């Protein structure tokens, strides 16, 4: 532990020294350039940031030996960020995106419990990112970790470590990328348990023509395949998979705001590549061969509408077949049909803004017995009645329903949320008073897959916030009161929270301080009350124009009611996060 802290301190000191030296060098260079090249424009421009942060975590539990609350973070962690963009000329730029942790320990997922990962596991760990994207005119080289979206039905929801290109000469469009989205990780029975994962190789391509703001016509193809021999022993609950999706995209934009968007896709997905090849099912050679666990299905979406300064109106229809599945969107829900009417209204001299959508979802389209319809509705209505009063009303309906392979009821989860938020502002000679009130009601219905019974989860949340702004003082306090009530079968939870915070500037406005205290009184059913006290402090100090030192300290004390055995159980969490951030900027400071 001491060695780790000493090493982290060494890194922090080294960073400050390097950044300070860079600051001094930059200052001297700027002066020399100003004298020698006052009329010569700089060709090299550097922007972005770099930084290093240390985070220490502590947890104490009482009584001694009680393990009812587990640590949520690594005890020590050092994070690095390096995201500068070097612009050598109008046509050539070199951006970096390095964001990684020195101690690669995850608390969830296939990396949980891994203390000494391999280099491949380290660079492909989702908590790390290493990317370089040199670009010259219309040609971009993509190296390292990339999150690329080609279209809504092909790929765009996963990070891949690899190499690729994005070429756009005139109106021609060509993209290609290949790499690894998941390294092979062996299953470990524990403790702690490591779930394991198969190594997954990906490649994707797009070819077409595009004129920004006018049209796009493109053909997409994306493939992912697991390597069955990449984990030994293999994961117990995961099977090696393979999938290919091909899609056609067509977007057209007219000058008067009318647009048309469409995409059609076909997926061929194998749920288990260890199953035998099938001569009956149709393969999509040379991309994929059909196994007995292979499914082929289709998806499509169409949107048409008109956008204006004051009014938008559009219609969208989206269909996903029961067997449609793509590795590029691993959590995409299939077997549904959505059709919605979307609009935006700006009225009353820009004092009223309404964004809304209305439609219907049909789940289990391919199963007549389980087919169900669901209302889709979203509304956000903001109105500025006067300089002193505004009102925001929002409503959201979200639902998920799918068939089940082992019971006749299937899965059904439907959520409805209604929120009302009035805000009052009163201005005096020395102070501005802001009072904000909000109320939210949430109703969540869930059907039990075993019994078919539907249970409801009802939540009421009320929040009152008061923020006074002093016009002649440097302090900025804020206060809030929160009431939360949740009612589910077998449990009723009530929370009441009081919070107060104070912000101020110091050291000739180079330092910004913020402290906050929060107390929560909780109750579960008829058990005795629980108590929670959180204290936090932020200290941001501007060492130079480009170098900032930020520190965050927090303590979280929680004492359970008598719902926990042993009675009187409590814990205290502490977190200390401190780090330096340097801002690259070769432009002249005004």
141 vs 456, which has greater pLDDT?
Answer: 141
Cβ atoms of residues 293 and 305 within 8 Å: no
Q: Say whether pLDDT at 496 is over 80.
A: yes
**Interatomic CA distance for residues 564 and 128, integer angstroms:** 37
Beta-bridge partners for 284: 288
pLDDT in tens, 132-177: 999 999 999 999 999 999 999 999 988 999 999 999 999 999 999 9
Entry field: residues in the chain: 590
**Interatomic CA distance for residues 346 and 383, integer angstroms:** 10
Q: What is the mean pLDDT of residues 290-307?
A: 96
* 196 CB neighbour count, 10 Å cutoff: 21
**Interatomic CA distance for residues 441 and 420, integer angstroms:** 9
- Which candidate, 465, 451, 449, 457, places its Cα nearest to that of 410? 449
Q: What is the mean pLDDT of residues 322-350?
A: 93
**Interatomic CA distance for residues 201 and 225, integer angstroms:** 5
- Residue 255's pLDDT is 85
**Interatomic CA distance for residues 378 and 343, integer angstroms:** 10
Q: Say whether pLDDT at 108 is over 80.
A: no
**Interatomic CA distance for residues 52 and 15, integer angstroms:** 7
Q: What is the mean pLDDT of residues 433-457?
A: 85
Q: Say whether pLDDT at 30 is over 70.
A: no
Q: What is the mean pLDDT of residues 60-88?
A: 93
Q: What is the mean pLDDT of residues 498-519?
A: 96
Whether the ω angle into residue 566 lies within 30 degrees of 0, i.e. cis, is yes
**Interatomic CA distance for residues 299 and 4, integer angstroms:** 52
Q: Say whether pLDDT at 395 is over 50.
A: yes
- Residue 107's pLDDT is 56
**Interatomic CA distance for residues 448 and 235, integer angstroms:** 28
- Residue 190's pLDDT is 76
Instruction: Give the predicted TM-score (pTM) of the model.
Output: 0.83
Cβ atoms of residues 244 and 221 within 8 Å: yes
Rounded to 5 degrees, φ, ψ at 583 are: -105, 120
Confidence of residue 3 (pLDDT cuts 50, 70, 90): very low
Whether the ω angle into residue 191 lies within 30 degrees of 0, i.e. cis, is yes
Mean pLDDT check: name the lowest of 121-125, 195-199, 486-490. 121-125
- As a dihedral over the C-alpha atoms of residue 117, residue 123, residue 127, residue 131, rounded to 10 degrees, the angle is 170
Q: Under 8 Å CB-to-CB from 472, ≥6 apart: which residues?
A: 430
Mean pLDDT check: name the lowest of 204-213, 451-460, 568-577. 451-460
- Residue 13's pLDDT is 46
Rounded to 5 degrees, φ, ψ at 284 are: -120, 65
Q: What is the mean pLDDT of residues 194-223?
A: 95
Q: Say whether pLDDT at 371 is over 80.
A: no
Rounded to 5 degrees, φ, ψ at 274 are: -80, -15
Q: Looking at beta carbons, which pairs linking 101-110 to residues 24 or more positions away fall under 8 Å?
A: 101/77, 101/127, 101/128, 102/77, 102/78, 103/74, 103/76, 103/77, 103/78, 104/128, 105/74, 105/77, 107/72, 107/73, 109/195, 110/182, 110/185, 110/194, 110/195, 110/196, 110/197, 110/235
Q: Say whether pLDDT at 224 is over 90.
A: yes
Cα 350 versus chain centre, distance = 31
User: What is the Cα gyration radius of the chain?
Assistant: 28
- Percent of the chain with pLDDT strictly greater than 70: 87
pLDDT in tens, 341-365: 999 999 999 999 999 999 998 877 7
Mean pLDDT check: name the lowest of 24-38, 89-103, 256-270, 472-486. 24-38
Q: What is the mean pLDDT of residues 559-575?
A: 94
DSSP state of 588: P
- As a dihedral over the C-alpha atoms of residue 82, residue 87, residue 92, residue 93, rounded to 10 degrees, the angle is 20
Between strands 547-559 and 570-585, the pairing is antiparallel
**Interatomic CA distance for residues 339 and 192, integer angstroms:** 46
Mean pLDDT of the chain, nearest integer:
88
Confidence of residue 120 (pLDDT cuts 50, 70, 90): confident
Q: What is the mean pLDDT of residues 490-500?
A: 96
Confidence of residue 399 (pLDDT cuts 50, 70, 90): low
- Residue 54's pLDDT is 97
Cβ atoms of residues 410 and 404 within 8 Å: yes
Rounded to 5 degrees, φ, ψ at 118 are: -75, 170
Mean pLDDT check: name the lowest of 105-114, 296-305, 456-465. 105-114
pLDDT in tens, 512-545: 999 999 999 999 999 999 999 999 999 999 999 9
Domain limits of the chain?
Answer: 1-80+474-590, 104-307
DSSP state of 529: P
């Amino acid at each position: 532990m001491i060695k780790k802290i000493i090493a982290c301190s060494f890194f922090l000191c080294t960073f400050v020294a390097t950044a300070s030296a860079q600051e001094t060098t930059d200052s001297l260079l700027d002066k020399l350039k100003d004298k020698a090249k006052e009329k010569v424009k700089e060709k090299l421009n550097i922007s972005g940031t770099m930084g290093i942060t240390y985070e220490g975590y502590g947890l104490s539990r009482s009584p001694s030996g009680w393990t009812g609350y587990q640590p949520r973070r690594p005890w020590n962690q050092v994070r690095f960020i390096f995201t500068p963009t070097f612009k050598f000329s109008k046509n050539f730029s070199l951006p970096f995106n390095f964001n990684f942790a020195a101690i690669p320990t995850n608390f969830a997922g296939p990396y949980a419990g891994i203390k000494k990962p391999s280099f491949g596991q380290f660079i492909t760990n989702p908590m790390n990112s290493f990317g370089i994207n040199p670009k010259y005119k219309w040609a971009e080289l993509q190296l390292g970790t990339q999150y690329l979206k080609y279209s809504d039905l092909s790929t765009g929801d996963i990070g891949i470590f690899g190499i690729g290109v994005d070429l756009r000469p005139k109106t021609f469009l060509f993209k290609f990328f290949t790499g690894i989205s998941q390294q092979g990780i062996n299953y470990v029975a524990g403790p702690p348990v490591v779930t394991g994962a198969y190594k997954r190789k990906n490649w994707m391509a797009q070819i077409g023509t595009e004129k920004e703001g006018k049209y796009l016509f493109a053909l997409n193809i994306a493939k992912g395949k697991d390597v069955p021999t990449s984990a030994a022993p293999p994961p117990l609950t995961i099977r090696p998979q393979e999938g290919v999706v091909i899609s056609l995209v067509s977007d057209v934009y007219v000058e008067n705001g009318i647009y048309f968007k469409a995409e059609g896709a076909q997926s061929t997905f194998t749920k288990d590549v260890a199953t035998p090849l099938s001569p009956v099912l149709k393969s999509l050679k040379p991309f994929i061969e059909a196994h007995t666990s292979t499914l082929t299905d289709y998806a499509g979406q169409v949107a048409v509408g008109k956008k204006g300064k004051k009014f938008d109106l559009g219609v969208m229809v989206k269909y996903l077949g029961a067997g449609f599945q793509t590795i590029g969107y691993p959590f995409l829900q299939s077997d549904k049909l959505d059709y919605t009417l979307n609009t935006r209204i700006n009225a009353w001299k820009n004092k009223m803004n309404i964004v809304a959508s209305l439609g219907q979802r049909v789940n289990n389209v391919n199963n007549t017995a389980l087919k169900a319809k669901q209302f889709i509705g979203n509304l956000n209505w903001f109105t500025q009645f006067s300089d002193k009063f505004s009102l925001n009303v929002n409503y959201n309906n979200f639902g998920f329903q799918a068939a089940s392979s082992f019971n006749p009821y299937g899965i059904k989860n439907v959520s409805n949320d209604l929120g009302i938020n009035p805000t009052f502002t009163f201005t005096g000679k020395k102070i501005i008073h802001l009072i904000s009130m909000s109320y939210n009601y949430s109703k969540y219905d869930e059907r039990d897959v075993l019994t078919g019974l539907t249970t409801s989860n009802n939540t009421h949340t009320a929040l009152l916030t008061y923020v006074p702004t002093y016009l002649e003082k440097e302090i900025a306090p804020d206060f809030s009161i929160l009431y939360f009530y949740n009612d589910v079968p077998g449990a009723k939870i009530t929370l009441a929270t009081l919070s107060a915070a104070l912000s101020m500037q110091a050291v000739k406005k180079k330092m910004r301080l913020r402290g906050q205290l929060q107390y929560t009184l909780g109750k579960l059913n008829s058990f005795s009350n629980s108590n929670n006290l959180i204290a936090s402090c932020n200290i941001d100090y501007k060492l130079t124009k480009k170098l900032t030192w930020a520190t965050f300290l927090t303590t979280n004390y929680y004492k359970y009611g008598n719902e926990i055995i042993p009675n009187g159980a409590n814990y205290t969490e502490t977190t200390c996060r401190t780090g330096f951030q340097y801002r690259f900027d070769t432009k002249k400071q005004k």
